[in-house]
Amino acid sequence: MTDVHHTPTQLAEALESVSASRRLQVAMIAGSRPEPGDVAVLIRRSGVEPDFFVRDMLVWALLSHPADRTVPALLAELDSANPQARAQALHALSKVGDPRGWPAVTDEFIGSADDEVALAAWRAAAALVPSGEEEHLARRLAGQLGRGDHTMQLSLGRAYLSLGEAGEAVLAEAAETAGSEAALHAETIQRLIADPDLGFDAAREEALRVWVMGTPE
């Protein structure tokens, strides 16, 4: 696909190349030369694309289209039976930044058993939350404290960091549940909010030292 103009069929076929570098190039071309029929193709491919960098470029290509065209299609994609498709749709909605995406970030997505869907929902929620809803979102996210591996806990920490003071009371409550992974996670995030330059790993080490050993600060 090298012509200035292309059809949805040509784009779809080009995105099925066995070469990830070729698919990356095709997605880049689609983003720099957007055609109205590309949106459905880009969204559909995002749901099955195995390469992270290509998926990222597909989202970038979507951003070259008007939100009135992309947002309804992305919202419809949230009903897909394919977890990757749902995760990518949530991720794209967070990048588009249109307020119409906010109501779609439901508790079902935030608490999804699929880690990638949950991660995308946390990021989308933090990006799309309307002014005045930050504390409510912090409480919705609290049920995910302590969940998953380092990557997941870091991602939730970043969501709370973006909420700032609105999440502090929620984190303080969670940190009082002694002996739980959720409490340790909450304490770690509190330290990050107090000192964003500390870094997640260092904040966790400090929280663990105080929480487990009772060492004075």
Does pLDDT of 3 surpass 80? no
Confidence of residue 179 (pLDDT cuts 50, 70, 90): low
Nearest CA to 90 among 64, 68, 66, 62?
62
Q: Is 177 helix (H, G, I), strand (E, B) or coil?
A: coil
Q: What is the pLDDT of residues 190-206, one digit of tens each?
A: 988 888 888 888 888 88
More confident site: 201 or 28: 28
Q: What integer pLDDT is reported at residue 178 of this predicted model?
A: 56
Q: What is the pLDDT of residues 70-129, one digit of tens each?
A: 999 999 999 999 999 999 999 999 999 999 999 999 999 999 999 999 999 999 999 999
Does pLDDT of 51 surpass 90? yes
Does pLDDT of 5 surpass 90? no
Q: What integer pLDDT is reported at residue 176 of this predicted model?
A: 84
Does pLDDT of 63 surpass 50? yes
Q: Between helices 168-175 and 181-194, what is the axis angle to 10°?
A: 140
Q: What integer pLDDT is reported at residue 205 of this predicted model?
A: 84
Q: What integer pLDDT is reported at residue 217 of this predicted model?
A: 47
Q: How much is the mean pLDDT over the chain?
A: 92
Percent pLDDT > 70 in the chain is: 94
Query: Please, which residues have CB within 8 angstroms of residue 62's CB and are 6 or more apart in sequence?
Result: 31, 39, 42, 43, 46, 70, 74, 92, 95, 96
Percent pLDDT > 90 in the chain is: 74
More confident site: 45 or 192: 45
Average pLDDT, stretch 55-73? 97
The tokens for 211 are 């929480």
Q: What integer pLDDT is reported at residue 6 of this predicted model?
A: 85
Nearest CA to 101 among 134, 126, 83, 82?
126
More confident site: 185 or 178: 185
